[in-house]
Amino acid sequence: MQRIIKNNAVIDETWHLLPKDASFDGISNCDDLIVPLALWREHAHALKARDGGLGVWLDADEEAEEIGDDVQHFQVIALNFPAFTDGRNYSNARLLRDRYGYKGELRAIGDVLRDQLFYL
């Protein structure tokens, strides 16, 4: 089982992060899922109707504005850092909190260095 750092503790991961090329076919109705933005765009209505928890993840080249009106549907928003030198998702995180009022969990995924944890 994968482990993550959350609230200054290392814990077991309970969310399933779907890959960027995931399709809607075969998605469990009760698992907690973090879906790629493309899947959210295509199947938002069906994803909202599921019983499990719902999250979305944005790649570095995707904009927070694309989910701004939908943030209330997500328990988790994951922001992908494809390289530790790519800081574009720091801006998305700020926009999600300040402009769109997102109060849920923001996660950094991808290539994040330990030295960057305090900036997150």
Tokens of 45: 């209505």
H/E stretch holding 4 reads strand 3-6
Alpha helix (H) residue ranges in 1-120: 37-48, 88-98
Q: Kind of pairing, strands 33-36 and 54-58?
A: parallel
On whether residue 70 sits in a domain, the answer given is: yes
pLDDT confidence of residue 6: 78
| pTM score of the predicted model | 0.88
Give, for all 120 residues of the chain, the pLDDT tens digit: 687 777 778 878 789 999 998 888 877 776 899 999 999 999 999 999 988 899 999 999 999 999 999 999 999 999 999 998 888 999 999 999 999 999 999 999 998 877 776 666
On whether residue 114 sits in a domain, the answer given is: yes
pLDDT confidence of residue 14: 82
CA dist 33 and 30 (Å) reads 9
Tokens of 4: 């993550």
Split into its structural domains, the chain has a count of 1
On whether residue 106 sits in a domain, the answer given is: yes
> Within 13 A of 69's CA, how many CA atoms are on the CB side?
3
On whether residue 1 sits in a domain, the answer given is: no
Q: Which residues touch 81 (CB under 8 Å, ≥6 apart)?
A: 60, 87, 89, 108, 109, 110, 111, 112
CA dist 70 and 3 (Å) reads 28
Is-contact 81 89, C-beta < 8 A? Answer: yes
On whether residue 95 sits in a domain, the answer given is: yes
